[in-house]
Chains A and B, each alone.
Chain A
């Protein structure tokens, strides 16, 4: 990085537009100042290797634990000797916070790695074109497929989206445009609704759809249970988006004599369009992997079922769940392949939401 020496002396009276002096960063540590830290880190590695070699602690876990302790002690003593107790506390906390952040990354990396490693053996092109209707669960992996689950998943989520979009966006409009008397209460309840456990959403739909209305397991019931989980996500994200639309736009609309209805539909919503789409996609990403409510509502199926109101249907999480439940090696392979596909579906939604969300206008 730039150091003080880069700053060539210049006559301040003669403004030279071509050679703008590089900004100096006197607060940045020079290599010389970094040297003790660097040496400390190396000695910490060596010391912990030595400790692990002579002590009963073995393996990676032993090394990591020893390294944490040794590096904290080294850093603390270096700062204490060079400066004071406060500097020692500062360097210890810096190390601890870097470690905590690293530990947060660890499980995500491991999960993605394992999904790829365990999901790959079960993957094949054929599984996207076949279902399990004529294949027994212990048939080899090249027979059968998860087409029914993939289609079922997209079907359930699409229906849930159709239910959630109007409700979610109306809620967001109520919070940002109408600003009624109950604004605070509604916002509070939307927040509370996003904390509803998924299993409770499933139980509720079961109580309404199956027990009270006498319905059967069906795609529609599954979609309704998912939309309970989706509405708050859509509403909250859409509210954030609508809040970003400048008030000037609304006032301009009203000043031109438009009604509020016209202003919202012709000015506010078009201005927020990409953000609102992001809100909806985030909602779908949130519910696409939900398992618990589907276990109680769609019943599971080995073939496709296009009738939303009657008959069981399957979904990717259900497929994964079912194949793990079988408990055989092949079942587990199928399930991991299902997880792989499920994660790809979710990541597609997720990436779409991010790309659209970052695009302005």
Chain B
């Protein structure tokens, strides 16, 4: 604090105090705003704390078996069965459906992003962006029911065709005749659901491509495609991969849509066209209704695992995106 003193002691207005210290109202403002800003951190911390605390007894009794074993048997006093909780099959199923979703969704989303950035005529851009935004606003319940009632009858035929022509490959083989409610169909629904996020991130990334390099490529006689291959893709690769990972995170955490479409089976099956899959999030919804107290703890533990997995995927995705797309 520095005070400038007036050397002449004559009458007149007293010089005001000049200070670099922030005023009281500003200090309050900063404290309030900062504490508001930290709430997201606190909430994330609390989520992991509470779920971990609730699921702790399960983690203790099951150990590593919780994420590796396939059995989910609730305790039953009348039958004398001992409880055993394992989400191995569900975790595997979550990843399988997630990657199937990415396999179909990523090329579509990338194509849509390239189309919007470099191909679409001006009049087509706005409606197309609107459609992608609407897609992001459709609730997952609607996707699930559409998937069940509209997509599934179609996709069942596609699955049969795939099985007919590629059935010799183990993952497309079919031990019975159960083509509905398979990871393949659930993956298709997820693919549609993750398109908007991958498309919007990819567009954001493509928009950052330096214009001079694009024009340099054209000036050297590049066609549109060779320009994209030589400039846009190398420049935006990281961000697009990050967007795909964000989409994967979405797919992993998706609950209602997968629950509606997928048939949960506590087993790891390699055949993706078979009506047997797994999903941690759907398991929680399925078992929550009639869960006993210990089973509820197991569901909390499953929720914790799901939370950690999605958080890890999201962290990684955001790291990649933030590094590629210079924000601000």
Q: Please say whether chains A and B are actual partners in one complex.
A: yes
**Which of A's residues lie within 8 Å of B, judged by CB?**
61, 86-87, 89-90, 93-94, 96-101, 103-105, 107-108, 110-111, 114-115, 118, 166-167, 169-171, 173-175, 177-178, 180, 182, 185-186, 188-193, 195-201, 203-204, 207-208, 211-212, 228, 231-232, 235, 243, 259-262, 264, 285-286, 288-292, 295-296, 317, 320-321, 324, 335-336, 339, 342-343, 346-347, 350
Assess the A90–B225 pair: CB atoms within 8 A: yes
* CB-CB under 8 A for A261 and B28, given A98-B115, A292-B255: yes
Task: Check: B166 CB closer than 8 A to any chain A CB.
Answer: no
Once the chains are docked, how many angstroms separate the CA of A211 from the CA of B303? 15
Residue of A93, A204, A260 touching B225 (CB-CB under 8 A): A93
Question: Among A110, A196, A317, A320, which residue has the most Cβ atoms of chain B within 10 A?
Answer: A196
Q: A100-B111, A180-B34, A191-B314 are in contact. Are A291 and B256 (CB under 8 A)?
A: yes
The segment from B61-69, B78-86, B138-146, B205-213 found at the interface with A is B138-146
Known: A196-B44, A232-B40. 12 other contacts (CB 8 A): A97-B111, A100-B110, A173-B37, A175-B37, A191-B314, A191-B318, A197-B252, A207-B54, A262-B25, A289-B140, A317-B141, A339-B141
Q: Which residues of B contact A (CB under 8 A)?
A: 22-23, 25-26, 28-30, 32-41, 43-44, 46-47, 50-51, 53-54, 107-112, 114-116, 119-120, 128, 131-135, 137-143, 145-146, 149-151, 157-158, 192, 195, 199, 223-226, 228, 246, 249-250, 252-256, 260, 281, 284-285, 288, 299-300, 303, 306-307, 310-311, 313-315, 317-318, 322, 328
**B146 & A350 in contact (Cβ 8 Å cutoff):** no
Residues of A within 8 A of B307 (CB): 196-197, 200
A144 to B264, CA, bound (A): 34
Known: A197-B255, A261-B26. A86 touches B223 (CB 8 A): yes
CB distance from B73 to the nearest CB of A (A): 21
A285 to B246, CA, bound (A): 20
Whole-angstrom CA separation of A207 from B139 in the bound complex = 25
Given the known A-B contacts A195-B314, A289-B139, A320-B141, are A178 and B37 also in contact in the complex, defined by CB atoms under 8 Å?
A: yes
Tell me if B288 and A342 are in contact (CB < 8 A): no
Instruction: List, sorted by A's number, 17 A–B pairs whose CB atoms are closer than 8 Å.
Output: A100-B108, A104-B199, A170-B35, A170-B36, A173-B37, A178-B34, A192-B311, A197-B255, A197-B306, A232-B40, A235-B40, A259-B29, A289-B137, A290-B139, A291-B256, A339-B145, A343-B138
B38→A182 contact, CB < 8 A:
yes
Contacts of B145 in A (CB 8 A): 320, 324, 335-336, 339
Q: In the complex the two chains form, what is the Cα distance from A115 to B137 in whole Å?
A: 14
Whether the pair A193, B44 counts as a contact (CB closer than 8 A) is yes
- Chain A residues with Cβ below 8 Å from B128 are 101, 105
A170 to B110, CA, bound (A): 35
Task: Report Cα–Cα, A291/B138, bound state, in Å.
Answer: 12
Contact between chains at A261 and B25 (CB < 8 Å): yes
Q: Once the chains bind, are A195 and B26 in contact (CB under 8 Å)?
A: no
Complex Cα–Cα for A174 and B32 (A): 9
Complex alpha-carbon distance, A335 and B322, angstroms:
41
Identify the closest chain A residue to B48 (Cβ). A204
Q: Return A113 CB to nearest CB of chain B, in Å.
A: 9
Q: How far is the CA of A216 from the CA of B175 in the complex (A)?
A: 46
* CA gap between A95 and B161 in the complex, in Å: 25
Closest to B223 in A: A90
- Residues on A with C-beta less than 8 A from B51 are 200, 203-204, 207
Task: A89 to B229: give the CA distance in the assembly, Å.
Answer: 11
Q: Is A321 in contact with B26, judged by CB distance below 8 angstroms?
A: no
Q: In the complex, A185→B253 CA distance in Å? A: 23
> B44 and A203: CB pair below 8 A?
no
Residues of B within 8 A of A169 (CB): 36
B114 A97 Cβ-Cβ under 8 A: yes
A111 adjacent to B143 (CB under 8 Å): yes
Among residues of A, the one whose C-beta sits closest to the C-beta of B30 is A178
- Chain B minimum-CB-distance residue to A343: B142
- Are B47 and A204 in contact (CB-based, < 8 A)? yes
Known: A104-B199, A228-B43. A259 touches B23 (CB 8 A): yes
Rounded to whole Å, the gap between the CB of A69 and the closest CB of chain B is: 15
Question: For B228, what are the chain A residues with a Cβ–Cβ distance below 8 Å?
Answer: 93
B288 touches A260 (CB 8 A): no
CA distance A104 to B50 in the complex (A): 39
The CA of A171 and the CA of B116, in the complex, are separated in Å by 32
Contact A96 B111 (CB under 8 A): yes
A100 touches B107 (CB 8 A): yes
- B111 touches which one: A86, A101, A108 (CB < 8 A)? A101
Report how far A207 CA is from B151 CA in the complex, Å.
36
| Contact between chains at B44 and A115 (CB < 8 Å) | no
CA–CA, A356 and B243, complex, Å: 28
Partner among A193, A296, A343 whose Cβ is within 8 Å of the Cβ of B40:
A193
Considering the chains assembled together, what is the distance between the CA atoms of A288 and B25 in angstroms?
A: 37
Contacts of B40 in A (CB 8 A): 167, 171, 186, 189-190, 193, 231-232, 235
B139→A346 contact, CB < 8 A: yes
CB pair B29–A170 under 8 Å, yes or no, is no
**In the bound complex, CA of A86 to CA of B220 (Å):** 13
A22 to B307, CA, bound (A): 60
Residues of A within 8 A of B120 (CB): 101
- Among the listed B39, B225, B255, B303, which residue makes an inter-chain contact with A231, where contact means beta carbons less than 8 Å apart? B39
Complex A-B, nearest 7 residue pairs according to Cβ-Cβ distance, in ascending order: A170-B36, A289-B139, A100-B111, A197-B253, A174-B37, A195-B314, A90-B223
